[in-house]
Amino acid sequence: MNVPLLDLKAQFRDIRKEVMAAVEAVCEDQGFILGPRVVELEQAIAKYVGCSHAIGCASGSDALLLSLMAAGVRPGDEVITVPFTFFATVSSITRLGAKPVFVDIRPDLFNLDPTRIEKMVTPRTKAIIPVHLFGQCAEMEAINEIAHRKKIPVIEDAAQAIGASRRGVKAGVLGDTGCFSFFPSKNLGGFGDGGLVTTNDRTLNDALAMLRVHGSRTRYVHEQVGINSRLDALQAAVLTVKLKHLDRWTEGRRRNAVTYERLFADAKLLDGVTLPKTEMGNFHVFNQFTIRAQKRDELKVFLKEKNVGTEIYYPIPMHLQNCFKELGYQKGSFPVSERAAEQALSLPIYAELTDEQLTYVVDSIKTFYRSH
Ligand SMILES: *Cc1c(COP(=O)(O)O)cnc(C)c1O
């Protein structure tokens, strides 16, 4: 038995005809940058998420960068976010010369702890970036309450959370802007890099549309120094086809999560392993099924020998990254994030997995803990 962490070939086999027809149509047109197919995807995603505007761009990293630029974040400003996230959440801040101000995560979830935000707000705080890590929304009403009171924009890092919702509202409309990634391993993945920003604010939408094309509204007239960050028509065509399947794939991921819960309970493995918790009111889309495991590193090696693919998202919290050392944090600064980095292990969860494969994963983990 072989259970990779992700098998995109299995997904492609299912949709090959549709996708290839869409790719061929773009090749016939030879129109590659932005254009009607990008507009079609933007409208489809806006409808899917439930917002009025969507702006395609080159990556999820750029979606964050563009959102911060549109929010007017400048050198010396502060932006509150979590240390337990993917690098791009934080680099989007430092790239603008602004300073990331970290707030630890909740011990029982992997998301920002809203009770820790307020004391970190200063007059320089220009944005808050909650991350909907692994496909589950952060506690947005608590975050928004502080943000509204202090008049600070909220930028959702929804890169892992397309289709996720909280109390019936989808990720991407829970803040001022929502940042999505179409990196191939995300729940809606392109055939390369891609990203998108959602918003209900027309002024922000206009700013984003300008910033992604070098800060220009009329060609060769530049109002601001923007960046080159456009979504291309090939990605848009592929993604428009794949979006139609997204809810089905999400259901597959959620079904697999339920199966894991049953298998782990049956295997009486809940001592060595803590399963991911879903908060009340959250619709979790399981971009990752991330457990906390004792002897995590040994378990990972063992599973690799059993042909079970796993990954550590994320082994080094951002406050301990070399490139951010001038921020002055050290080991112990954010103990909850540090513990998560030591314990987290993501298991295969993609929609096409069979029950036999899931059983094999849990059986292998059981074998490990019997002998360790
Ligand atoms: C993937 C990801 C990003 C960046 O997206 P790219 O498209 O790879 O640039 C940002 N934040 C989080 C949490 C992510 O998982």
CA angle (276, 11, 186) in 5-degree steps: 45
- Cβ atoms of 170 and 54 closer than 8 Å: no
Please give the distance, rounded to the nearest whole angstrom, from the Cα atom of residue 86 to the centre of ligand 1. Answer: 6
CA of 29 to the centre of ligand 1 (A): 30
Pair of tokens at residue 153: 């924009």
CATH class of 8-103+111-243: alpha beta
Quote the pLDDT of residue 7.
97
Instruction: From 82, 89, 129, give the residue whose CB has the most ligand 1 atoms within 8 Å, as the site to mutate.
Output: 89
The Cβ-side half-sphere exposure at 316, using a 13 Å CA radius, reads 10
Distance 180 CA to ligand 1 centre (A): 8
Task: State yes or no: pLDDT of 272 exceeds 90.
Answer: no
Closest to 249 in 3D by CA, of 186, 156, 171, 170:
186
Is residue 270's pLDDT more than 90?
no
Q: Is residue 7 within 6 Å of ligand 1 at its C-beta?
A: no
Decide whether any atom of ligand 1 lies within 6 Å of the 56 Cβ: no
Q: Residue 283 above 80 pLDDT?
A: yes
pLDDT score for 271: 77
- What is the 88 CA–ligand 1 centroid distance (Å)? 6
Share of the chain above pLDDT 70, in %: 100
- Ligand 1 midpoint to CA 34 (Å): 21
Question: Does the C-beta of 181 come closer than 6 Å to ligand 1?
Answer: yes
163: Cβ below 6 Å to ligand 1?
no
Best residue for ligand 1 mutational test, from 82, 160, 229, 312 (most atoms within 8 Å of Cβ): 160
Q: What is the pLDDT of residues 29-86, one digit of tens each?
A: 999 999 999 999 999 999 999 999 999 999 999 999 999 999 999 999 999 999 999 9
Write out pLDDT tens, residues 305-346.
999 999 999 999 999 999 999 999 999 999 999 999 999 999
Task: For residue range 115-136, list pLDDT tens digits in order.
Answer: 999 999 999 999 999 999 999 9
156 lines ligand 1 (CB under 6 A): no
- Ligand 1 pocket, 86 CB below 6 A? yes
Kindly state if the Cβ of 157 falls inside 6 Å of ligand 1.
Answer: yes
Q: Atom of ligand 1 at shortest distance to CA of 193?
A: 7
37 C-alpha vs ligand 1 centroid, how far in Å?
23
Residue of minimum CA distance from atom 6 in ligand 1: 60
Q: Which helix (H) or strand (E) holds 165?
A: strand 165-166
Q: Where are the alpha helices (DSSP H) in the chain?
A: 8-29, 36-49, 60-70, 87-94, 140-150, 202-211, 233-243, 246-266, 296-305, 335-343, 355-371
pLDDT score recorded for residue 269: 77
Q: What is the mean pLDDT of residues 207-232?
A: 95
**Ligand 1 atom at minimal distance to the Cα of residue 183:** 7
Ligand 1 centroid from CA 154, angstroms: 17
Q: Which residue, judged by its Cα, is nearest atom 7 of ligand 1?
A: 60
**How many angstroms is it from 359 CA to the middle of ligand 1?**
30
Residue given tokens 């050198």 in the structure block: 75
> pTM of the prediction?
0.98
Angle formed by the axes of helices 355-371 and 296-305, to 10°?
A: 130
From the CB of 130, is ligand 1 less than 6 Å away?
no
CATH 3.90.1150.10 fits domain 246-371: yes
Beta carbons of 198 and 53 less than 8 angstroms apart: yes
Domain boundaries, given as residue ranges, for the chain:
8-103+111-243, 246-371
